[in-house]
Amino acid sequence: DTGVSQNPRHKITKRGQNVTFRCDPISEHNRLYWYRQTLGQGPEFLTYFQNEAQLEKSRLLSDRFSAERPKGSFSTLEIQRTEQGDSAMYLCASSSGLLQRVYGYTFGSGTRLTVV
């Protein structure tokens, strides 16, 4: 499978716990994006990497959130001290700068986080 892979698909955690999600992009894609989607809304941009460099962060990404992309391959998104308002679908996408204009972004199926 050459698509964008996200793990886990579902995560239930207690308020105050830390959680980490992983995204494996399409191997030849140098750009990687994280989005968050709450029920009934469209996805909202969180952050973007070009290779290992984090080039843009949304103001939605509070100091409890951190994203990394070591070596420019897979990426992790960590949420510390989770709150009920963090419950959402977390989507990862990747693209090639050159092919983006033709094929757009490729999204994964997301990780659904429920904070109880």
CA distance linking residue 113 with residue 88, whole number of Å: 5
Our finding on whether 23 is near another protein (CB under 8 A) is no
Which string of x and - marks every residue 27-66 that binds another protein (by CB under 8 A)? ----x-x------xxxxxx--x------xx-x--------
Distances (CA, A) of 54 to 15, 64, 100, 104: 28, 16, 18, 20
The residue within the footprint of another protein, chosen from 4, 19, 67, 113 (CB under 8 A), is 4
Structure tokens at 68: 């990394």
Distances (CA, A) of 50 to 17, 72, 79: 29, 8, 21
CA distance linking residue 98 with residue 86, whole number of Å: 34
The residue within the footprint of another protein, chosen from 17, 18, 109, 114 (CB under 8 A), is 109
The residue within the footprint of another protein, chosen from 21, 86, 110, 113 (CB under 8 A), is 110
The minimum distance between CB 115 and another protein, in angstroms, equals 19
Binding residues for another protein, per CB under 8 A? Answer: 4, 31, 33, 40-45, 48, 55-56, 58, 91, 93, 101, 103-110
